[in-house]
Amino acid sequence: MVRLAVRLVNRGWATVIAIAVGIALLVSDFGWIEFTLEPRSSAVRPALLAGCILIAGLAMDWSRAWRRRRQLERIEEAKLRALRVTMRTVQHVVNTFLNDLILLEVEAANILPQEMLDRLDDRVQEIAEQLKALGDVKSVREKPLGGEWGVDYVLRDE
């Protein structure tokens, strides 16, 4: 309960201050409270001022929340952009290696059994698909990978 109150105050401090000031304005002048059909115009001023302060506090908190959300979106976009650039570089390096491996396979076609060459082809294709999927991620989610953390990605046909 206390944590919730602290979180609400941290996120909506301007509204909390506006409510406190508004209540102080209203309580400080009980004379304006009259149950007549035509209240005095000077008696309505504290209520209007309290309402304006409350609206200003709400607007400030809404604006701060919007800026915070926008900043988090920009950070997420930067993370994703950095990941994609890194993955494109990794794709280039690994694909160069895989192309060299395919050339080696062509030279070893007469020496190695066909099932071993087929398994090598399947593995090369699988690695290429995984790299492509990592380069095409839409959001950065993490998953445990043997004691460390890695990027959670989904292959297109899964």
Rounded to whole angstroms, how far apart are CA atoms 155 and 133?
6
Q: Contact 33/75 with Cβ under 8 angstroms?
A: no
pLDDT tens-place values along the chain, 158 residues long: 677 666 666 677 777 777 777 777 666 665 555 544 455 555 566 677 777 888 888 888 888 889 999 999 999 888 888 888 888 888 888 888 888 888 888 887 788 888 888 888 888 888 888 888 877 777 777 778 777 777 777 665 54
Task: Work out whether strand 148-151 and strand 142-145 pair parallel, antiparallel, or are unpaired.
Answer: antiparallel
Rounded to whole angstroms, how far apart are CA atoms 75 and 89?
21
Per domain, the residue ranges of the chain are 2-70, 73-139
Rounded to whole angstroms, how far apart are CA atoms 158 and 152?
13
Instruction: Give the three-class secondary structure for 110.
Output: coil
Rounded to whole angstroms, how far apart are CA atoms 65 and 15?
12
Tell me if the pTM is above 0.85. Answer: no
DSSP annotation of 32 reads G
Rounded to whole angstroms, how far apart are CA atoms 77 and 95?
26
